[in-house]
Amino acid sequence: MAQPWTLDRGARLHSDGSVRFSVWAPQLTAPRVRICTGPARGDYEMTSVDDEPGVFAVTVSNVGDGAEYVFSDGERTLPDPVSRSQPHGVHGPSCVVDPTRHEWTDIWWRGVPMEELVIYELHVGTFTPEGTFDAIIPRLSELKALGVTAIELMPVAQFSGDRNWGYDGVDLYAPHASYGGPAGLTALVSAAHEAGLGVILDVVYNHVGPEGNHLDAFGPYFTEKYRTPWGRAFNYDGADSDEVRRFVIDNALYWVTEYHIDGLRLDAVHGIFDFGALSVLQELASAVHDQAAHLDRTFVVIAESDLNDPRLLRAVTEHGFGLDGQWSDDFHHAVHAALTGERNGFYADFGSVSAIAESLREPFVFEGQHSRFRRRRHGASSVGIPRCRFVVAIQSHDHIGNRATGDRLAAILPPDKRRLAAALLLLSPYVPMLFMGEEYGETSPFQYFIDHGDPSLVAAVRAGRLGEFAAFEWKDAVPDAADPATFERSKIDWSLAALPEHAQTLALYRDLLALRRDEPMLRPDGARIIVANDDPGWITLLREPAYDFTRPGTYAGDMILSLFNCSDQPIDIPTSGAGNRSWSLRFSSDASAYGGDDRVASYVDALPVDDGPRRLLAATKQQTIRLPAWSAALYLSQ
């Protein structure tokens, strides 16, 4: 195994206060570093580094932590491409950061493996009124009590202005200044680990933002061979691409090493173009797994992909890329289209209850079939890949924010359908992800917002959003992304959780997550999954424990039967596929504790006890179980 990694590019502070400045800058002539603050203030000539083409370096004494600096070629001053901090924004000087200044107390922390993940996605700027890393910390205990095991931060790399989703970041190593910068992020990660929560960071390696991007001045970071929907693609396979690949792989290693981050969510890897023999995705995953092993920690790499490509998850020995997980949007699209009735855009490929059933059988509904939306065949089979490798959601920043008005399910679905959607998510055999506020039925929209200083960029964003929504034929006016009111509307309102209807939603999520925790077979890969039957209106999801070969005809534990009525009428759902067993009701989305009518309980000959997830009603051997419209129930065998 190679030696543990350390960050060599940028400003590396030594124990004596000196700093080695290093930059890959083949485009600069006679590069210099200018120290802007402190006793070492002045310009220093950089010299080329042997055996590292295009790399220049210099060591300057008496610089110290917190000193500001820029690189210069005599005509321009430029921030460091590997800046750890940009306290004055994307155009200002970079800042030396001592990565040892924070005293970590999480030596006992080992991370969260995929099979134990319950992810809570949040946007730092809109999660609290303050919009900072520090302001998240008091909420961590609530998330832990909810049943979450890891928070996922939308991108925090320095972007232009103070308001942005984060996908316009340009200084990939610098936690955003208005969020709290490096000190704020280290404090948040430390507090999360103390609370027993992992931290996953959303990172963007397919493009950088349009404002404040100074990488072109240093070297050929980008290529004209490929285009992404968001800007120029990184140069991962062309001439001089070795240092570009190092730039992003170092970035991944930096988060796991200096910030103790537990995982990365790689944004839109279908926008990462690399036709070399060794994929940059494979190289990145291998590098961070090796570093995690050195640190004796678990680290996960999760991809967002629009390709339904199982190669991302297959082992390198199976000609795959070796990533740990990926988002599977087919589940979301199937549930959303069936419950909302929407058929525009990519929802044109979904809408039937059988599509939900297919997404429960296999995460990729499209595994080579023709897609109406794409007008071509789409996807490949995911058969054989463990279910803990797939992350599913019914809401996320993409699914909400890329709607015309950013409306959440709480604004477009009645309570019974929302309860059913939550049950489908949390009783699915995959890794569930919640979006901030979902657990109590947040009604504020999550809209797209920016704070660019260039008026031409603002105009381009406005036009681009309108074009993006053309396929959906939405009639609503698209909010102005540059208007500060759009950002303010997108902040979640924590006071809602105390109101009766929202408290019922919160109870539903807590109980479902407790049920997943208490019943091992409900965890990903915890049992064999059989979708016993599905008709136009309902789904029967059966979980079987392992067969006990020492006792013919028996299984090593109970069976779990999940029933979903995805129609507007009560349905008698047959249990014949589950054998001649007695069943006890363990959960009903129609329980009064969640805002329902307790009709499921009334359909069995028993008196209800408490409404928590551990309740057991009298056993029934009915050949059918009646469910009210838009509801879910879970039964245990006896």
Q: Return the number of other C-beta atoms located less than 10 Å from residue 541's C-beta.
A: 24
Following DSSP, what letter does each residue of 132-146 receive, concatenated? Answer: SHHHHGGGHHHHHHH
Distance (Å, whole) CA 8 – CA 190: 24
Q: CA Rg, the chain, in Å?
A: 26
Q: Helix 280-294 to helix 242-258 angle, to the nearest 10 degrees?
A: 30
Instruction: Please state the separation of Cα 430 from the chain's center in Å.
Output: 14
* Residue 224 among the catalytic residues: no
Instruction: Give the Cα separation of 273 and 512 in Å (integer).
Output: 40
Q: Report the C-alpha gap between 219 and 216 in whole angstroms.
A: 6
Residue type, 544: E
Phi-psi label, residue 484: left if phi above 0, alpha if psi -120 to 50, beta otherwise: alpha
Active site residue 43: no
Counting runs of H as helices and runs of E as strands, what totals does the chain give? 15, 30
Cα–chain center distance at 370: 28
Pick the closest to residue 271 from 314, 229, 322 (CA basis): 229
Whether residue 589 contacts residue 628, with contact meaning beta carbons closer than 8 Å, is answered with no
**CA 133, 111, 101 angle in degrees (round to 5)?**
50
* Residues 80, 86 contacting (CB under 8 angstroms): no
The dihedrals phi and psi of 169, each to the nearest 5 degrees, come to -65, 145
Query: Which runs of consecutive H residues, i.e. helices, occur in 203-279?
Result: 242-258
4 DSSP assignment: P
- Residue 5 is classified by DSSP as P
Rounded to the nearest 10 degrees, what angle do helices 500-518 and 415-426 cross at? 20
Q: Which residues have a Cβ under 8 Å from the Cβ of 380 and sit 6 or more positions away?
A: 308, 309, 310, 311, 364, 367, 368
- Spatial separation of the C-alpha atoms in residues 517 and 167, rounded to whole Å: 33
* Among 267, 349, 362, 511, the one annotated catalytic: 267
* CA dist., res. 546 & res. 529, Å (int): 11
- Answer whether 537's CB lies under 8 Å from 565's CB: yes
Residue that the structure tokens 């381009």 belong to: 460
- Judge residue 56's burial from the number of C-beta atoms within 10 Å of its C-beta, 0-12 exposed, 13-18 middle, 19 or more buried: buried
The closest of 291, 311, 208, 214 to 250, measured between CA atoms, is 291
Residues 6 or more apart whose Cβ sits within 8 Å of residue 340: 412, 413
E-strand spans in 330-426?
A: 370-371, 376-377, 390-393
Cβ–Cβ under 8 Å, residues 332 and 345: no
3-state SS track over 301-316: EEECCCCCCHHHCCCH
Nearest alpha-carbon partner for 324 in 151, 111, 599: 111
136 three-class SS? helix
Annotated catalytic residue, options 68, 80, 171, 304: 304
Question: Residue type for 555, please?
Answer: Y
Residues assigned a catalytic role: 267, 304
